[in-house]
C-alpha cells in the first residue's frame, strides 16, 4: 500500500506519498525491507531508541514524536499511539467502515454485555463479530488474533481485553471478509489510554460500572475513570449506569452528547431512561424483571443468575432497541441466551456422578466482581458456600486484602491460593491477601491452585456451592517460568472422580 494512503486521517505529512509500504512494525527486530516503523514510548522502552536499527533492517519510513539519533529523516506526529491506530486501520482496508460498532467499557460485566448484544443482534438476523477478553468471533467461527508480529507489547494478543491495533483491525478485517455487518467489542481502560481503537467512532458506547482495578496502571480512581470516559468523546451516543457514582457523572460531562441512563433502583424510575423493576431471582434458573422505559415496557427473563445479570441485560437491551432492534426480538433473544464462558459457569458432572455439591467458575478478580458473584450464588445456595481465589502478580496490590474481605463476607469457607503470580513472589501475594482476613473464620491458605481445588472438592458436602474465582475462561497459569496449561474444569472433574473412588 502507498504511504499516502496509510497516512490518511493522521497528522503526519510526507513528500513521498507514492512509496510502497509492505508492512508496519513497532518492534525494530521485526522490521523487514519496505516496512514503516513506528516509534512508540512504553513503560520500559522507547521506540525512538531503536529507530536506527529499524532503518538498518529495511524500514523505508520512520514515524515518531521527536527526532531520533541516526535517522536523518523521521516523519513527526503529535501522538505516535493515535497514529498507530489510524495507520493500522488504513493498512487493513478500513474494515469497520459501514459496520454498526458498539464498544463496551467498565470494570466488570463487559464480556457479558457483549455476548448479550451478540445474542440479540444475531436473533435479529445480523452478522456479528465480537472482540472480547475470552475470544474473537465472526458469527460462530473463531478469528485468530494474528498479525505480522509487530505488536507494541510483549503479552499475547489473545490475552488482552482489547488487542493492539495490528491485531484488533486485522481481526475486524477478517470479520468483514466473512460478511459481518456489526462489530461489538470490549474497550479496556488501558486500550483507551493508549488510543488503540481511536481510528473508529462507535455508534454506541456502554459504560457498565467502575470499581478499583488497574490502579497500578492509572494511579488513581479519577485517572482510571478519565481513561474510561474518553470513549464518550468519539461515540455517537452512550449508555451508562446511573447507580454507579462514577459512571453517573457522564451525562453532565458530555452535555452535547446523548447519554442514556439505566438503573436498578425503583426510586430512580422517573429520572432515568430505563429502570429494572420487580426484579425476581429464579434461583439457578436465572433472573426476571420488568424493563421499564418511555419507549418500551416488557418482561425480561434471563437464564443468567445474579442481580448483576439484570444490569448487563438491561444495558444490552437498551442499546439494541436504540439501534433499531424490535423489543420482542430483544426479549426472546435474552430468554434463550446461553452462559458466557468463565462467567458463573456451572461445571457439568456425568449423570452417574455421586458428587452432591455444585461448582461454578467465574472470572471475578476484583473485590466488586467477587462480591457480585458470591452475592448471586448466595441467592441459590442450599448449604455452605465455599470460595477459592487468589490475586494476579505484577498487578494492583491494593485490592488484595479487599478481595479477602469480600470473600469472607459471603463464604462459609475461604480458600486463598495462587492465580497467575507472574514474576512476583507468590508468598508475598498470599500474605497481602490474608492481611484482609479475619483469621478466626474458617479459611485455608494453599499456594498451589491445583491442590487448593482438590481440597475444596474434598471438603464439600451435599448441597454445598463452590466458587472458583479469578481465572474464568483462562486455560493457563502464568508463573515466572511462563505459561502452563491449567484447565480448572478438568481439574475439578478429576478431583471429584478421585474423591468418589476413595
Helix, strand or coil for residue 140? coil
Domain count, the chain: 3
DSSP one-letter string for 491-502: HHHHHHHHHHH-
Domain boundary among 300, 317, 335: 335
Buried b (16+ CB within 10 A) or exposed e, 47-61: bbebbbbbbebebbb
Residue 340 included in any domain? no
Are 109 and 80 in the same domain? Answer: no
Domain boundary among 335, 365, 383: 335
Instruction: Report d(CA 407, CA 410) in Å as an integer.
Output: 6
Residue 171 included in any domain? yes
Are 214 and 188 in the same domain? Answer: yes
Residue 53 included in any domain? yes
Residue 278 included in any domain? yes
Residue 330 included in any domain? yes
Instruction: Report d(CA 372, CA 351) in Å as an integer.
Output: 30
Q: Among candidates 368, 347, 359, 375, which has minimal Cα distance to 467?
A: 359
Are 121 and 253 in the same domain? Answer: yes
Are 323 and 466 in the same domain? Answer: no
Are 81 and 222 in the same domain? Answer: no
Residue 216 included in any domain? yes
pLDDT values of the chain reduced to their tens digit, one per residue, 502 residues: 999 999 999 999 999 999 999 999 999 999 999 999 999 998 788 999 999 999 999 999 999 999 998 898 999 999 999 999 999 999 999 999 999 999 999 988 899 999 999 999 999 999 999 999 888 999 999 998 765 433 333 334 444 578 999 999 999 999 999 999 999 999 998 899 999 999 999 999 999 999 876 656 767 999 999 999 999 999 999 999 999 999 999 999 999 999 999 999 999 999 999 999 999 988 878 899 999 999 999 999 999 988 889 999 999 999 999 999 999 999 999 999 987 878 888 898 988 888 999 999 999 999 988 998 999 899 889 899 999 999 999 998 999 999 999 999 999 999 999 999 999 999 999 999 999 999 999 999 999 999 999 999 999 999 999 999 999 989 999 999 999 999 999 999 999 999 988 7
The CA distances from residue 373 to 218, 366, 415, 430, in Å, are 25, 11, 16, 21
Backbone phi, psi, residue 238, to 5°: -125, 160
Tell me, what CATH number does 43's domain have?
A: 3.40.1390.10
Are 19 and 154 in the same domain? Answer: no
Domain boundary among 68, 91, 114: 91
Are 68 and 212 in the same domain? Answer: no
C-alpha cell at 429: 501475594
Segments forming the whole domain that contains residue 230:
100-335
Tell me, what CATH number does 177's domain have?
A: 3.40.1190.10
Are 371 and 487 in the same domain? Answer: yes
Are 171 and 313 in the same domain? Answer: yes
Are 184 and 325 in the same domain? Answer: yes
Are 327 and 361 in the same domain? Answer: no
Residue 479 included in any domain? yes
Place of cell 454507579: 244
Tell me, what CATH number does 391's domain have?
A: 3.90.190.20
What does the pLDDT read at residue 155? Answer: 38
Sign of CA dihedral 165, 471, 248, 298: positive
Cα dihedral 463, 467, 473, 479 in deg (nearest 10): -130
Are 77 and 183 in the same domain? Answer: no
Q: Among candidates 182, 171, 198, which has minimal Cα distance to 80?
A: 198
Residue 7 included in any domain? yes
C-alpha cell at 67: 527526532
What does the pLDDT read at residue 379? Answer: 85
Amino acid at each position: 500500500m502507498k504511504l499516502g494512503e496509510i497516512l490518511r486521517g493522521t497528522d503526519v505529512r510526507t513528500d513521498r506519498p507514492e512509496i510502497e509500504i509492505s508492512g508496519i512494525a513497532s518492534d525494530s527486530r521485526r522490521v523487514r525491507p519496505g516496512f514503516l516503523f513506528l516509534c512508540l514510548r512504553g513503560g520500559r522502552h522507547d521506540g525512538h531508541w531503536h529507530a536506527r536499527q529499524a532503518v538498518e533492517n529495511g524500514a523505508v519510513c520512520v514515524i515518531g514524536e521527536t527526532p531520533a539519533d541516526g535517522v536523518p529523516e523521521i516523519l513527526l506526529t503529535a501522538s505516535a499511539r493515535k497514529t498507530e491506530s489510524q495507520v493500522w486501520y488504513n493498512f487493513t482496508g478500513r474494515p469497520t467502515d459501514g459496520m454498526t460498532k458498539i464498544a463496551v467499557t467498565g470494570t466488570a460485566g463487559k464480556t457479558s454485555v457483549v455476548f448479550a448484544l451478540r445474542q440479540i443482534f444475531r436473533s435479529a438476523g445480523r452478522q456479528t463479530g465480537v472482540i472480547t477478553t475470552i475470544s474473537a468471533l465472526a458469527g460462530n467461527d473463531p478469528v485468530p488474533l494474528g498479525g505480522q508480529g509487530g505488536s507494541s507489547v510483549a503479552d499475547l494478543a489473545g490475552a488482552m481485553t482489547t488487542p493492539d491495533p495490528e491485531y484488533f483491525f486485522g481481526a475486524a478485517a477478517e470479520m468483514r471478509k466473512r460478511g459481518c455487518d456489526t462489530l461489538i467489542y470490549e474497550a479496556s481502560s488501558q486500550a483507551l489510554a493508549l488510543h488503540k481503537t481511536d481510528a473508529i467512532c462507535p455508534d454506541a458506547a456502554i459504560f457498565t460500572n467502575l470499581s478499583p482495578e488497574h490502579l497500578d496502571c492509572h494511579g488513581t480512581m479519577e485517572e482510571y475513570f478519565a481513561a474510561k470516559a474518553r470513549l464518550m468523546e468519539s461515540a455517537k451516543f452512550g449508555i451508562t449506569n446511573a447507580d454507579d457514582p462514577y459512571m453517573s457523572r457522564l451525562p453532565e460531562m458530555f452535555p452535547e452528547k446523548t447519554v442514556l441512563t439505566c438503573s436498578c433502583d425503583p426510586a430512580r424510575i422517573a429520572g432515568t431512561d430505563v429502570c429494572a423493576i420487580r426484579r425476581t431471582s429464579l434461583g439457578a434458573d436465572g433472573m426476571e424483571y420488568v424493563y421499564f422505559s418511555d419507549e418500551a415496557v416488557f418482561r425480561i427473563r434471563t437464564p443468567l443468575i445474579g442481580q448483576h445479570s439484570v444490569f448487563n441485560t438491561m444495558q444490552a437491551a437498551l442499546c439494541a432497541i436504540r439501534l433499531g432492534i424490535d423489543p420482542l426480538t430483544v426479549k426472546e433473544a435474552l430468554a434463550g441466551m446461553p452462559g458466557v464462558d468463565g462467567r458463573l459457569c456451572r461445571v457439568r458432572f456425568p449423570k452417574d456422578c455421586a458428587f452432591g455439591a455444585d461448582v461454578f467458575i467465574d472470572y471475578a478478580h476484583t473485590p466488586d466482581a467477587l462480591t457480585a458473584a458470591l452475592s448471586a450464588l448466595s441467592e441459590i445456595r442450599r448449604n455452605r458456600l465455599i470460595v477459592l481465589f487468589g490475586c494476579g502478580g505484577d498487578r494492583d496490590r491494593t485490592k488484595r486484602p479487599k478481595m479477602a474481605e469480600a470473600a469472607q463476607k459471603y463464604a462459609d469457607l475461604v480458600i486463598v491460593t495462587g492465580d497467575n503470580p507472574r514474576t512476583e513472589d507468590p508468598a508475598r501475594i498470599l500474605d497481602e491477601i490474608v492481611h484482609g482476613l479475619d483469621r478466626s473464620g474458617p479459611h485455608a491458605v494453599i499456594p498451589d491452585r491445583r491442590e487448593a481445588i482438590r481440597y475444596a472438592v474434598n471438603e464439600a458436602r451435599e448441597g454445598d456451592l463452590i466458587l472458583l474465582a479469578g481465572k474464568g475462561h483462562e486455560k493457563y497459569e502464568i508463573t515466572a517460568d511462563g505459561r502452563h496449561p491449567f484447565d480448572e474444569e478438568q481439574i475439578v472433574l478429576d478431583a471429584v472422580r478421585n474423591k468418589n473412588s476413595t
